[in-house]
Structure 1
């Protein structure tokens, strides 16, 4: 669930309009509208805190789907900011230092866990990693944080680039002896196993999705 969905859910529960939330929070209505429409996927932290206070929820819940209650102990301190990039960029991120340095500040998101200097965030696409009965599950639009410098081990959730494909993909790494595979978490996914060979490059390991991975 994205921040726009969580915000929409709370407004529906309270019976508030965007204007009412703006009046109670002090956040301009156009800003609220951009968040709710999905146009602004990385709102500024001060605005998130104002919205959370007005809705009596925690900022972590709005941002990441963390604890809902605003009175619970605060979550982990932010460890810095990482850029929100595309799946095409993720496939060649290590060589895009110049692109990173010129990205708009609004494209940078706070990361709640320790991470390497080349880390980035992605929005999950598709349903291949959705497992309704599993502990690990990722829906379309979920935000994941990826560290290219984290070592991939058996069971790691990895972003990989396959030769001949323009975009990267997201799968679970399975290592059995000398064999390595990529696995979709969705039990109904066609062809859920992809053997790894020299055409597959691991671009990073997912480290956070509203909770440590």
Structure 2
């Protein structure tokens, strides 16, 4: 298992309200247009942008409608665009040209194999999805399965969504990762949590158990983007 250390990140320097306003500006949408596109009521957008609401079950739909990363929108982690670093809350971010990358969607069986072995499969036949997040040369998408990462508020990954995995990227506490059991290559998608010198894989759905990340587990990669595939929109 890769080594981890407890860190205290300042990556969440912007508020959800600021990120939502920036997302709307990026998509060139009014509050009403965003609400219509996301299939929700306009007051829900207004309450988030004024800070009256600090979380919402509609964030995945809002992120999809604006064309931004759900992880960035909900937590400020990562970037809205491919190489966006942490924003200073006192500086109004400028929106520059967005570069998109395309990665294949592979199976969970393939994800459990060694990253170096991915080129053994005919990836040319895999469905591909674009992203403005950089996942490295070996990045790949996985389709979320089951309800373990579906929450009642805030970040939620519903079954059928796709997540972009960046193999080899460091994972800090609070970020999301795909891990595998070394002996069986069984893979899982969870939130990585570092607590009191121990690492855990935590589901967002409290009905599922938290797993201690011991020597039987290995991190496959960090999740850097998530969205609904176009085929289900």
Structure showing greater relative contact order (alpha-carbon pairs closer than 8 Å, 6 or more residues apart): 2
SS at match of 1:209: strand
Q: Give the counterpart of 1:88 among 98, 102, 109.
A: 109
Q: How many residues align?
A: 143
- Residue 120 of structure 2 is aligned to residue 99 of structure 1: yes
The TM-score normalised by the length of structure 1 is 0.59
Distance 1:131 1:97 in 2: 31
Q: Is the 8 A contact 1:118 1:149 kept in 2?
A: no
Measure how far apart 1:105 and its partner are: 5.2
Distance 1:179 1:148 in 2: 22
- The corresponding residue for 2:213 is 196
Deviant stretches of 4+, over 4 Å: none
Q: Give the counterpart of 1:156 among 169, 172, 175.
A: 175
Q: Give the counterpart of 1:123 among 140, 143, 155.
A: 143
Larger radius of gyration: 1
Could you list the runs of 5+ residues in structure 2 that have no partner in the other structure?
A: 1-35, 39-59, 68-79, 82-97, 229-233
- The corresponding residue for 1:142 is 161
| 1:1-213 alignment runs, 5 A limit | 65-67=64-66, 76=81, 77-99=98-120, 102-104=122-124, 107-133=127-153, 135-189=154-208, 192-210=209-227
Distance 1:199 1:142 in 2: 28
Q: Is the 8 A contact 1:157 1:173 kept in 2?
A: yes
Q: CA RMSD for the aligned pairs?
A: 2.9
Measure how far apart 1:80 and its partner are: 1.6
CA 1:165/1:79 → structure 2, altered by over 3 Å: closer, same or farther? Answer: same
Q: Is the 8 A contact 1:91 1:161 kept in 2?
A: yes
